[in-house]
Amino acid sequence: MEHQSAMDFIINEMRGNIPPRLKYHSLEHTLSVIKCVERTATRTGVTGDDLKLLLTAAAYHDSGFLNSYTNHEEEGCKNAKRLLPKFDFNEEQVEIVCNMIMATKVPQSPKTELEKLLCDADLDYLGGDDYYTISNKLYEELVLNGQDIDKDKWLSIQIKFLESHHYWTDWAKENLAPNKDKVLKSLQRTARAS
């Protein structure tokens, strides 16, 4: 399994081909998810082939945006199934990567520890210090892709999403959830004041 070559390939594809209207689902987001996965895996003891599969899934999780704005998880799996065998991934390894990618589809539905790690890495910004910056990128992307959302509606969408979201791993529950709760309370105060 040549995971680094597989990752480099899809990252290069994304670098040249992700549409500029994808302000949130950009190469920057994918690289951030990879970094978060590396950091969290180290802290939780994920190593060896599991780590290679997790990193590969992180690199491919939004690659479906190369094909389509909708159903990007399914498209990402198609990319993985088409490309990973060229990098000596066997059928079982490709399936594990695809399951991780599909687990990130909102509402998230992870079943394994690796799926939980990827889901938490994908949405780590909800509990990060840069929530508002990243959230604004998502808002801009949605508007650029035809969503009719004003700022009041966006505030409501954010609140509902944060209320329904929860982290899956102990690490994220301890390190990200407290700040996510602060952000939620702040957004709720803003909504009450408007």
- CATH number of the domain at 91, please: 1.10.3210.10
CA atoms of 93 and 99, how far apart (whole Å): 10
Burial of 173 from C-beta contacts in 10 A (0-12 / 13-18 / 19+):
middle
User: pLDDT tens track of the chain, all 194 residues?
Assistant: 999 999 999 999 999 899 999 999 999 999 999 999 999 998 999 999 999 999 999 999 999 999 999 899 999 999 999 999 999 999 999 999 999 999 999 999 999 999 999 999 999 999 999 999 999 999 999 999 999 999 999 999 999 999 999 999 999 999 999 999 999 999 999 999 98
**Distance (Å, rounded) from C-alpha 190 to C-alpha 114?**
36
Structural domain tally of the chain? 1
Indicate the DSSP class of residue 128: S
**Residue range of the domain that includes 12:** 3-193
Residues in the chain: 194
The rounded distance, in Å, linking the Cα atoms of 97 and 12 is 19
pTM for the model stands at 0.95
